[in-house]
Chains A and B, each alone.
Chain A
Amino acid sequence: ILNVEQSPQSLHVQEGDSTNFTCSFPSSNFYALHWYRWETAKSPEALFVMTLNGDEKKKGRISATLNTKEGYSYLYIKGSQPEDSATYLCASPGGGADGLTFGKGTHLIIQP
């Protein structure tokens, strides 16, 4: 069974501040690391799929890094805005299943 852990579970951030949170996963038999953004009452939307150690990807004010040797990824949000409020999920395939194993998410609330 693959263990994908995310921390913190929830996070309150002041509008305009930058923030980051963590996803950890087993470093052995690594295939890929996915980040998804899930707004309330909507469906999860892919942010990044990362496969290479040292990968860094960016989409607007959101970026992510990947360390496959130590088994972690960081998601960064620069200059948080209220529309960034969502649950951020990371996921990785493996552990004997072809589907993604998801972490429980980091619930981000941006306070105006």
Chain B
Amino acid sequence: NAGVMQNPRHLVRRRGQEARLRCSPMKGHSHVYWYRQLPEEGLKFMVYLQKENIIDESGMPKERFSAEFPKEGPSILRIQQVVRGDSAAYFCASSTSSSNTGELFFGEGSRLTVL
């Protein structure tokens, strides 16, 4: 049973370009979470999705960031018109239930560098 798969592992973008990060949850998991780790900081919650629905996006910046988890295929975190401050590690996690009681299974992260 493969774990949470994230790709790409490393992504370099120039300012103004778009970044797309993909996350395939563990088999049987319908809950997906995205977290961001800025340099020298801890993990910060961004968005929580279930299949085809955004449940909570309270941690997501209001502009340029979006996320989806379609019926088929991976969850995608999209960052439009990237700026240097978007450089961070983005972690995806999945679970069989909400994080109120269910443990999260994390991917190895996607490291975005904006030049």
Partner of A43, one of B41, B91, B100, B101: B91
What A residues does B99 contact at CB under 8 A?
Answer: 32, 34, 91, 93, 98-100
Looking at A31, A44, A46, A101, which has the most chain B CB atoms within 10 Å of its CB?
A: A44
Minimum CB distance partner of B100 in chain A: A31
Are A51 and B101 neighbours in the complex by a CB distance under 8 Å? yes
What B residues does A46 contact at CB under 8 A?
Answer: 103-105
Are B104 and A100 neighbours in the complex by a CB distance under 8 Å? yes
Asked if B102 lies at the interface with its beta carbon under 8 angstroms from chain A, I say yes
Minimum CB distance partner of A50 in chain B: B101
* A93, B55: Cα distance in complex, Å: 14
* A93, B99: Cα distance in complex, Å: 6
What B residues does A32 contact at CB under 8 A?
Answer: 99-101
Residues of B that sit less than 8 Å from A by CB: 3-4, 33, 35, 41-48, 55-56, 58-59, 91, 93, 98-109
| A43-B91, A98-B99 known, 6 other contacts, Cβ within 8 Å | A43-B106, A89-B43, A91-B99, A99-B35, A102-B43, A103-B42
Pick the 6 closest A-B CB pairs, nearest first.
A99-B45, A46-B103, A98-B56, A43-B106, A104-B42, A102-B43
A-B contacts, 23 of them at CB < 8 A, read A32-B101, A36-B106, A43-B4, A43-B108, A43-B109, A44-B91, A44-B93, A46-B104, A49-B101, A49-B102, A49-B103, A97-B48, A97-B58, A98-B55, A99-B33, A99-B48, A99-B56, A99-B59, A102-B35, A102-B42, A103-B42, A104-B42, A105-B42
